[in-house]
A and B are shown apart, each in its own frame.
Chain A
Amino acid sequence: MSKPEVVADYARVHELAAELAFSEAAGLRAVELADLSPDRSDWLRYFSQFLMTLGAALIVAGITAFFAWNWADLGHMQKFALIEFGIAAAVVGTWRLDIDSIAGKASLFVAAFLVGVLFAVYGQVYQTGADPYGLFLSWAILILPWAIIGRQAGLWLLFVILLNLALIMFWTQVLAPPEGWWQLAQLFGPLVWLGSLVTDSHLSSAVLLLNVIALLAWEIATLRGATWMRGGWYVRVVAFIALSTVVPPTLLVVLAASLGENIGLTILSPILMAVVTAACLYYYQYRKRDLFILTCCAFAVIMVVTSFSVRLLLNDFGSMLFLAMLLIGQVAWAAYWLRNVARRWEAAA
């Protein structure tokens, strides 16, 4: 049987050094051979990319904090002029610095983010009374052309998050405003209404659908050869969001079915969760390898099975021992299965 080609990363080199009792010289040589220590070129690359991203992020956060402060002595037009100047400068920066460079990408992201700040200040100044979904939707629509030409995962993720927020706000404020005591949640601000995701199966299904479309579109584009889309973090974040929209309502349906009749919980959530989890388990195991998404799926299944067992078995304290053993067994099985999947991939590589 051929030995699997296991990559010599930080964890494995150190585990190996501990297990085989390396001398210090052997350990340092292993680090050198595994190329773990960056050379001058690596340092310059990290330095350039990290500081550019960090600097841009801090400036954007600072500008947002400045306008959140709502300085009364600064006139409306001055506020708008400042933000619009920022957007224009960032766009010119993108053009001058090259849209495919790290500086150009950071500059374009800053411009896209400042569009949202502009809308927020507009709402602050004119108090239009418009529903917040309009802000997120307009923001998303306006940055869409930049996302298309920008070809960066960060911008697309911002776009998807804005669409998520717009959909949730539209649903909870226009399409199906909550009734009764849940209306009081509005007193704590519109973002508290994100909690509706857990108590409304139709809303959580709509948000799930949105994220599944975002995920599928990305995967299809990657398969068609869009090389800039090959990084894994966009897929992981969107898959995580998708599962997060459907797992909590499913748990609530399982744990408190009678409660579901009074709010918006239906059998739709568990069905969709089963379908999405099964699809992810198949696709990210056999078609595209992603252990993170498989781990999320395994954890979701464990939570649902445990909730179901709690519902059926939790009659007295004695049943807690059984539930503890069941949970331990499931997590142990998941760890074993994930390890085997990783080994299978390594052997096939």
Chain B
Amino acid sequence: MSKGKVSLNELVATLQAENLITADSEQVERALEHMSGVQPWYVRTMVGFGAWLASLLLIGFVSSIGFTFEGGFALFGLGFMSGAVLLRRSSPSDFMIQSALAASLAGQALFIFGVMDAVDWDEPEVIFGLLIFLNIVLFAIFPDRLHRVMSVMLSFGSLTVLFYFWKLNALVPLLGPAITVALIWISRNRMALLAGGMGVYVRPLQSGLMLSAFGCLMMSTVYILPELGGTFEFYPRPWISTVLLGLLLLYVARDAWAGMLATAPQSTVVTIYTLLAIIIGCVWMAPGLVLALIVTLLGVSSGHRTMTGAGIGFLVLFLGTYFYGIQITMLQKSVTLVTAGVAILVARWIVLKLLPDSAQWEVSHV
């Protein structure tokens, strides 16, 4: 069987022959039927964008209704969210799924606005705290993958905003690495989580955490001019993120080394880890590059092509944003990028020289 071309039918047949599937044949048939409907990321993106746009129109409609009592919007929002959960749980049709998504997003906005309106609270803690709370609850009870991804992103986005309101800017560089730790843990333990009945949460958590980590690290490229922001530091000491993500990269890279260095001597392993540490040192002020490498490695090691593509896409995006950032001079950027590039090419050359039977990959034909 060629790589990536094994069919689900073949796979299930083998697992059944090895007595690894306990479900009856009717369940298996139904599951296989359902598998042909799994949608790729770009269809989900289109659906998500459509739901977001529709939720804006729903908010526009509801906001035109006048309520004679305070908290009317909150009640309406709660009704929208409850209805959305019921709708999503009761119907598998595309129209109902799409309606439920839009209603839930609109319901969250209306509920928060209604609560603020009714109790006259407009502190950011209330707004973003409520958003986090709602999304934690909805993550558990709203049975939709796309909605769960949005819930994770909205929760971490709200938490980040709260950090700024609490003047905890110093902690912002820790947020991206902390999310990445969760992403790595879930990716490594996904089969144990699946076996523990958490299957429906694993993939949305993975996607949501990955996108949240991307968002956090993109903030490291934002610089507010002192004339505009005074002493406000948007992303202080990005090197903290680089160090922490660097340690995570060394940890994640074990998969690759385990695959390549099974028969290599200890000195080769030490050399390779040293080279990796040098590369991390070279991108001291560009932590997003390290995150991109981690995500790409996680994707490759688990055969998750979308994650691999996302890692490479983020690398390009981060590089572009980093290039246009004004926090450091073009000369500093140039030194960072060229030394990192040279270090990577030297590391590649050394590794391919050190590893037995790897000469064919040095000049690999595509």
Contact = CB atoms under 8 A, between A and B. Distances in A.
Contacts of A66: 330-331, 334, 338
A335 B365 contact: no
B8 A18 contact: no
Interface in A303-349: 306, 316-318, 320-321, 323-325, 327-336, 338-339, 342-343, 346
A54 B315 contact: yes
A317 B58 CA distance: 9
B21 A65 contact: no
The B interface, classified by DSSP as helix, strand, loop or mixed, is helix
A260 interface: no
Interface residues of B, number: 105
Interface string B337-364: 1111110110110011001001001111
B3 A295 contact: no
Contact of A35 (B4, B9, B18): B4
B330 A68 contact: yes
A31 B61 CA distance: 48
Contact of A20 (B27, B304, B342, B362): B27
A154 to B, nearest CB: 11
A111 B321 CA distance: 23
B319 A57 contact: yes
A63 interface: yes
B191 A27 contact: yes
Given A48-B362, A333-B94, A59 B341 contact: yes
A194 interface: no
Contacts of B262: 40
Given A34-B11, A105-B366, A22 B195 contact: yes
Given A8-B11, A38-B303, A291-B40, A100 B338 contact: no
B50 A45 contact: no
Nearest to A3: B9
Contacts of A71: 331
B82 interface: no
Interface string B5-39: 11111111011001011110001100110111111
A30 B36 contact: no
A18 B334 contact: no
Contacts of B305: 9-10
A336 B66 CA distance: 37
Contacts of B39: 335, 338-339
B303 A335 contact: no
Interface in A35-85: 35-40, 42-52, 54-66, 68-71
Contacts of B319: 57-58, 61
A332 B366 contact: no
A43 B195 CA distance: 28
Nearest to A18: B199
A21 B197 contact: yes
B93 interface: yes
Contact of B330 (A42, A69, A105): A69
Given A22-B194, A316-B64, A295 B337 contact: no
Contacts of B327: none
Contacts of B256: 43, 47
A335 B54 CA distance: 15
A17 interface: yes
B23 to A, nearest CB: 5
B280 interface: no
Given A65-B337, A320-B57, A15 B35 contact: yes
Nearest to A10: B304
Contacts of A98: 363, 365
B158 interface: no
Interface stretch (B95-103, B166-174, B232-240): B95-103
Contacts of B23: 20-21
B6 A331 contact: no
Contacts of A37: 301-303
Interface in B82-110: 93-99, 102
A45 B36 CA distance: 30
Contact of B352 (A48, A60, A338): A48
Interface string B97-126: 111001000000000000000000000000
B306 interface: yes
A88 interface: no
Contact of A63 (B49, B334, B348): B334
A14 B344 contact: no
Contact of A58 (B32, B57, B337, B352): B337
A251 interface: no
B167 to A, nearest CB: 33
B366 to A, nearest CB: 5
Q: Most chain-B CB neighbours within 10 Å: which of A45, A54, A291?
A: A54
A15 B61 contact: no
A7 B58 contact: no
B158 to A, nearest CB: 25
Q: Most chain-B CB neighbours within 10 Å: which of A39, A62, A331?
A: A331
Given A26-B20, A65-B333, A321-B61, A343 B37 contact: yes
Interface string A247-258: 000000000000
A36 B303 contact: yes
Interface of B: 1, 3-12, 14-15, 18, 20-23, 27-28, 31-32, 34-40, 42-43, 46-47, 49-51, 53-55, 57-58, 60-61, 63-64, 93-99, 102, 190-192, 194-195, 197, 199-200, 202-203, 256, 259-260, 262, 296, 300-306, 315, 319, 323, 329-331, 333-342, 344-345, 347-348, 351-352, 355, 358, 361-366
Those 6 A-B pairs whose CB atoms lie nearest each other, nearest first:
A18-B199, A36-B303, A317-B64, A62-B337, A58-B341, A331-B50
